Amino acid sequence: MIETAYRVSPLRATDPERLGDYLLVGRLGRGGMGVVYLAESDDGSYVAVKLIHPDLTTDPEFASRFRGEVERARQVPSFCTAEFFHADLDHDPPYLVVEYIDGPSLDEVIAERGPMRGGALQSLAVGVATALTGIHGAGIIHRDLKPDNVLLALGSPKVIDFGIARSFETTSRHTRTDVMVGTVAYMAPERFSGEKTTPVTAAADVFAWGCVIAFAGTGKTPFEGDSPSATAGRILTQPPQLDGLPEFLRPAVSAALAKDPASRPTAPELLAILLGSQPGTLTPSPTPPPATPAERPVRSARRKRVALVALAVLPVLAAAIAIGWNAIPHDAPSAQRPTSSSAAAPPPTRMVAAQTSAPERTPSPTAAPRSARPSSPPTVADKPSRPTPSPTGRGLVNDAGRNLALDKFATASTVEGHPWPAGDAVDGDPTTRWASLFSDPQWLAVDLGKQWQIHKVVLHWEMAFATAYRVEVSTDGQRWTTVYRTESGKGGIAQIDTDGAVGRHVRVYCTERVGPYGYSLYEIEVR
């Protein structure tokens, strides 16, 4: 039986029924690399199957990197992460199979019970540092450590979704910088550098560890801002806010959150600090931690001794962390998880979503019902009305004409509710959408990962479209140049020529809408 069946969403009509020996049951999530499914094996046990996006398989660099990461994933100890079961690298597209961890995420636990305290918090800190030690020991950088990726299984915390993310952003010869992997509130300062020469190393995971533990102990991230850009600015320039974090964790967390990656402890050194065998203040290393085993610099004798001691106690820590998340003391009232009953939820059955339009939002009590999306929305090819000059400079050329916004990082001024996040406007699914609150102005922005020559932006509006809006391009996400403006938007599909404007960020800024609802955008394409 599965306690966390509430995480599973229905399969879509385009999803496969089986992958190898595994029957797909439902969707667990979707990201820049592909789709993660819950599946049932022949013996009746449940596993997580990660199917890679077909578009990525044509890239030789990705294929080489993916194979290397799968091999390293086999070496990560199963006590600290989802156990690796199988991978079919010759399947089109390839997929891998790992353990399905039937436990709540740290994010869910904090939302329901409030910040952790005492032994439970200390166990979490030691457990996640132990997991990073095992992951880094296999030559893998996680790159997206956050509360959603820490599952509180029985026995010890487990860190999931490691390593493979490195296929998008790596410091080895297989370099791709067109995708920024990570969640802003947990990203190290060096992750925001636009320079290809800036290494992203295991020290970035240590920084994320500090943010995760601060969140677990206080209920908020240490650089929390009112927008992703404000949060990024605080990460780059401000000290962490650790008010409310217990004193016994502050030395380790403060050391992990150092701006300079060379000043942060390694994962084994974190364990030494947490276990009291090393002070929290470290002497900066002359070089940052390595990105790959082949490029690993020689460490000092002190660091080698710490690593050996920490690795020797890993099996002991696995048992010591068995306090279990059910014993977590909390300050906030406990809220019941949305399971189907108070007992364990029954095993989910295969669920296939019909090819229909996305569900309509619930209007405000005074609003009139809105009609459904038309089956064939009209195509609108408005010409810009005297746009301001477009940005100039050199940018990458999109010779293949692919959609540069697909599965990239998207943010929005507001979101009406959980079913309509900004990411739905870049997921390639024509039945999902971003929807804003019922006010003006509103905006949606996409980070393309690096500077591109942009020739066309295609907007797929739902019935609640903008009648007045502008399309803007930016090289840094701060200063925006208008490349298109209209006050007579007609909805449907708007194809906008941008004359090769160069930028990394694209934003749709809306100032007037049709009807009483918020703005609603199925997809934004950037080509």
369-405 as b/e, with b when 16 or more CB fall inside 10 Å? ebeebeeebeebeeebeebeebbeeebeebeeeebbb
Q: Distance of CA 340 to CAs 43, 122, 322, Å?
A: 24, 32, 27
Q: Are 212 and 151 in contact (CB under 8 A)?
A: no
Distance CA 248, CA 276 (A): 10
Length of the chain: 527
Half-sphere exposure (CA, 13 Å, Cβ side) for 125? 31
Strand partners, 97: 49, 86
Q: Which of 144, 161, 424, 447 is catalytic?
A: 144
Identify whether 497 is a catalytic site residue. no
Pairing assessment for the beta strands 11-12 and 352-353 based on DSSP bridges: parallel
Q: Which two structure tokens, joined as six digits, stand for 495? A: 């194809």
Distance CA 244, CA 488 (A): 52
Of the candidates 234, 314, 232, which has an alpha carbon nearest to the alpha carbon of residue 270?
Answer: 314
The verdict on whether residue 196 carries a ligand-binding annotation is no
Of the candidates 275, 290, 249, 502, which has an alpha carbon nearest to the alpha carbon of residue 395?
Answer: 502
Of the candidates 463, 517, 453, 507, which has an alpha carbon nearest to the alpha carbon of residue 489?
Answer: 463
Q: Are 201 and 136 in contact (CB under 8 A)?
A: no
Pairing assessment for the beta strands 379-380 and 493-513 based on DSSP bridges: parallel
Q: Are 164 and 73 in contact (CB under 8 A)?
A: yes
Strand partners, 294: none
How crowded is residue 485: how many other Cβ atoms within 10 Å of its Cβ? 18
What are the binding residues for ATP?
50
Q: Which residues sit in the known binding site?
A: 50
Q: Kindly list the catalytic residues.
A: 144
